[in-house]
Amino acid sequence: MRIAILGTRGVPAKYGGFETAVEEIGKRLVQRGYEVTVYCRNPGQKMHDYLGMHLVNLPALRHRFTETLSHTALSTVHAVIKDRPDVVLLLNAGNAPMLKPLNMAGIPSAIHLDGLESKREKWRGAGARYYRWAEDASVRWGQEVIADAQAIADHVQRKYGRECAVIAYGAAVINPPADRLAELDLKAGEYHLIVARLEPENHVLEAVHAFRSSTESKRLVVVGSAPYSQSYVDNVRQAAAGDARITMAGGIYDQELLDQLYGHATTYIHGHSVGGTNPSLLRAMGAGAAVLAYDVEFNREVTDDQALFWSDAPELTAIIDRIADGQEEQTLTELRVKSQQRIADEYQWETIVDKYESMIARLAASRS
């Protein structure tokens, strides 16, 4: 069976959780005997095969409002006219308009909603209105609708009366070495970590303010960037300026180094609030991080409430102060164990791909 995956930057995974999911799912489908085509928009990429997946490299209009949809439109034309897959996996609700031509071509498709996009600050105004429309269109036109968290599926059920296939992301349980931490002048257990796009809904600014107000003597390392949120990035950098404890590391795409950062942090501070199952959170938990999570239903679902939760900067400051005073040492030790156990029990890639395979079978049966 021939599967096409559209709507992301593609593989190799260099940017975010969606791309990592495509790589992990795609290579496993190949191992299970499927022919997998991944449509990519990595500028300058020349390779056409990767881990058994066939890659189609196509251009995009480089603007935050047009990049994804322009590339997915070209990908859809290629899939309908040339590739003719048996099933399409379409990622990101913003690509909902492409469901119509796929349906007209008789190609069964599933669309992955990717959180509550209309609530992201970068889409305020016209962008938010578009994503509200696109969410509605995804639910109406998608033969299968994928939610990566039960809370997203519950939202869709309440608002639209439709069932979703709940398929999360996966992560590995790892115990990485610490030999590369010196590249960032760090020592194991001597720093707190944030890994996030620097965008308002990820509450990085509040976390930096909270840390500055704390009595903690350890470091805070902030990993991340944002291609379309420069004013917010500037605000975060300004908040960190002058505090020798805070390191703004920028985007780090070296996966081995990231694993070591996750695995040896005192805590992983997770401020994401509008996504579903967040891949960075899963990855931190798989590496045994103790999580300080922003208090929303998505984060409680993923951690199974096995985290320390905060809702604003003063609450996070209080938690960090207790950690600095040694009051939470036993709690952090327990959370590290529970994080890895949660990943082992609920977020293994093989189980995730089992669910995708079942969904693909349903879609293929609908075509026949």
- Per the model's pLDDT, the better-predicted residue between 255 and 328 turns out to be 328
* pLDDT score recorded for residue 147: 96
Residues in the chain, how many? 368
The answer to whether the beta carbons of residues 292 and 319 sit under 8 Å apart is yes
* pLDDT score recorded for residue 295: 98
3-state secondary structure of 204: helix
Domains 2-170+348-367 and 181-346 equal at CATH topology level: yes
- Supply the mean pLDDT for the chain: 94
CA–CA separation, 236 and 313 (whole Å):
14
pLDDT class for 158, splitting at 50, 70, 90?
very high
Q: Is the pLDDT of residue 15 over 90?
A: no
The answer to whether the beta carbons of residues 259 and 287 sit under 8 Å apart is yes
The average pLDDT across 112-140 equals: 83
Cis peptide before 12 (omega within 30 of 0): yes
What is the pTM (predicted TM-score) of this model?
A: 0.93
Amino acid in the structure at residue 196: A
Q: Is the pLDDT of residue 367 over 90?
A: no
3-state secondary structure of 47: coil
User: Within 10 A of 57 (CB to CB), how many other CB atoms are there?
Assistant: 16
* pLDDT score recorded for residue 10: 95
The average pLDDT across 118-138 equals: 82
CA–CA separation, 202 and 293 (whole Å):
11
- Per the model's pLDDT, the better-predicted residue between 125 and 41 turns out to be 41
- Per the model's pLDDT, the better-predicted residue between 127 and 314 turns out to be 314
Q: Which residues pair with 56 in a beta bridge?
A: 39
CATH superfamily, domain at 181-346: Glycogen Phosphorylase B; (3.40.50.2000)
CA end-to-end span of the chain: 12
Q: How many CA atoms lie within 13 A of 141 on its CB side?
A: 24
- Per the model's pLDDT, the better-predicted residue between 154 and 66 turns out to be 154
| Contacting residues for 230 by C-beta, under 8 A, at least 6 apart | none
CA–CA separation, 298 and 294 (whole Å):
9
Query: Domain 2-170+348-367 carries which CATH code?
Result: 3.40.50.2000
* pLDDT score recorded for residue 234: 95
Q: Is the pLDDT of residue 60 over 90?
A: yes
The answer to whether the beta carbons of residues 41 and 78 sit under 8 Å apart is no
* pLDDT score recorded for residue 118: 62
Percent of the chain with pLDDT over 70: 97
- Looking at residue 201, the DSSP 8-state letter turns out to be G
CA–CA separation, 353 and 202 (whole Å):
28
* pLDDT score recorded for residue 62: 78
The full set of domain ranges for the chain reads 2-170+348-367, 181-346
For residues 51, 55, 60, 65, the Cα torsion angle rounded to the nearest 10 degrees is -50
